[in-house]
Amino acid sequence: MITLLGGIALLIIGYFTYGKFIEKNFSIDPSRKTPAEVLKDGYDFVPMSKGKNAIIELLNIAGTGPIFGPIMGALYGPVAYIWIIVGCIFAGAVHDYMLGMISLRNNGAHLPELASKYLGKPVKHVVNIFTMLLLMLVGTVFVTSPANLINSITPNWLGLGAIVVLIFVYYIISTILPIDKALGKVYPWFGAILIISTIAIGISLLFSGSPIPNLTIHTIQNFHPGGLAIFPALFFTISCGALSGFHATQAPMVSRTSTNEKEGRFTFYGMMIAEGVIAMIWAAASMSLFDGQTLSQMIDAGTASLVVNEVSIMLLGNVFGTIAIIGVIVLPISSGLSAFRSLRTILADYLNIKQDTIKRILMVTIPLYLISFILTNMDFNILWRYFNWANQVTAVISLLVSTRYLYLKGKNYLVTLLPGAFMLYAVVVYILSEPIGLRMGLTTMTFAAAAVLSIGILWVFWTSGKKQKEQVDPDGELLNDQLPIGTFSAENA
């Protein structure tokens, strides 16, 4: 219990201390006009309130990640707490804040355009592929996982296939609506359900009498029943609750609706901290109510959705437990919708297809949903592995973009370079060792090869940055740069 409460306290303290430092390092300008004001179009660029932007950001980034990930991460024991707390404060929240604010400074540009500007135009194509792959996997995962949860609380006659189709129909309808209608009207209600259900699970756990594991000298070890090594697996299992590249695809959506830069710390950094709190509660509940072997069997039998059902009913009873399950369901549905919405705009930008009519919107949207529907027939656990790797590769790219931005501006760039370098090494080790990669196993050769490759990538990144530094003006702005979307006035360039 002490570790759970202390960890949540550290997350909140991190928001008011390190979050404030990151904001100061970025150097916000509250008087600067935002894309929502300059490029207002009534569809994607729409001024919205701080509260709505924050709840949209939370629901966009959350999905089942901060719940399913920590549930599976709980198999490693209390050591999972460390990654959630440290990762969230020093990596994930920084990642989300920087991408959101850099996008806001660049007319709400998505990650591929930002990578093109700060890492070089050839990188744009690679980032586009990874980003679209990630969003397709995210959208599919966030159709499959809520469908399983809905199927567990609905009559058998409805069927899993019918639920999947209904979710896709909802996504299609919401995709063609303006953001303030599709998200602004519905998400506050979704957010209320999520917050209330999460608090209920947390309070019930504290008073349930179940022993909540603490992080001690005796428990800071790997308890995974399958014997999986903590590094790098834990850092891919728990992603959305600590560091997630998917968030970099969602932050630009909210940067297009924000009306003041001073809202950024609450909207981007703060909502990641909130996600960390959710992750702590579900990791603690999973470790408290089940032993590792039982938890592993439940995950294998029905994905982490089975654990969600059991935890909710055990702690809250049938009625309130079902309400809590509904609270979990709204997460992936909202994130899945946001993933497909982002995927549509990124693909349309890449192919230069204007999204100014419903016909053109559906021309891009329908094929994406058809591909995703086919992918829903894949084994969920296999889909999750590919999603996790693509997710953290995207996080590395996002942190390198942020590092380059800070470097060009003459700011402290170590705040993004250090977590970026760490995750880069983890990504390389993962792809060299895992079955989805080169299957080299976790050997000395693997770790050494990963170190060499990571250093090589960082060296190329550093040398290209020094050359780019020669092409900036005294304010750190790139000379002869064309902003990727729209045009700011000279005073905002």
First-last CA distance in the chain: 50
Question: According to the model, what pLDDT value does residue 61 have?
Answer: 83
CA–CA distances in Å: residue 272 to residues 254, 312, 418: 14, 23, 19
Please state the pTM of the whole predicted model: 0.87
User: How deeply is 108 buried, as exposed, middle or buried, from its count of CB atoms within 10 A (0-12, 13-18, 19+)?
Assistant: buried
Question: According to the model, what pLDDT value does residue 406 have?
Answer: 97
**Domains defined along the chain, listed by start:** 2-381 (1.20.1740.10)
Strand partners, 472: 478
Residue 117 · residue 481 · CB < 8 Å: yes
Q: How far is the C-alpha of 239 from the C-alpha of 181, rounded, in Å?
A: 30
Question: How many Cβ atoms from other residues are within 10 Å of residue 155's Cβ?
Answer: 7
User: How deeply is 121 buried, as exposed, middle or buried, from its count of CB atoms within 10 A (0-12, 13-18, 19+)?
Assistant: exposed
Residue 147 · residue 11 · CB < 8 Å: no
Q: How far is the C-alpha of 403 from the C-alpha of 338, rounded, in Å?
A: 26
Read off φ and ψ for residue 52, nearest 5 degrees. -65, -40
In sequence order, the 6+-apart residues with CB closer than 8 A to the CB of 178 are: 42, 43, 44, 46
Question: According to the model, what pLDDT value does residue 388 have?
Answer: 77
Question: According to the model, what pLDDT value does residue 487 have?
Answer: 36
Residue 111 · residue 396 · CB < 8 Å: no
Question: According to the model, what pLDDT value does residue 372 have?
Answer: 85
pLDDT (tens place) for every residue of the chain, 493 residues total = 799 999 999 999 999 999 999 999 999 999 999 999 999 888 788 999 999 999 889 888 876 667 778 888 888 999 999 999 999 999 999 999 999 999 999 999 989 889 999 998 888 888 888 788 888 877 887 787 778 778 877 877 778 888 888 888 888 777 777 776 766 677 777 777 778 888 889 999 999 888 888 988 888 888 888 888 899 989 988 988 899 998 998 899 899 999 999 999 999 999 999 999 999 999 999 999 888 788 788 777 656 767 887 888 888 888 778 777 777 777 677 777 778 888 888 888 788 887 767 788 888 888 988 888 888 777 666 666 677 788 899 999 999 999 999 999 999 999 999 999 999 999 999 999 988 778 899 999 999 999 999 999 999 999 999 999 888 877 777 765 544 443 333 333 3
In sequence order, the 6+-apart residues with CB closer than 8 A to the CB of 332 are: 63, 64, 141, 142, 143, 145, 146
Question: According to the model, what pLDDT value does residue 489 have?
Answer: 36
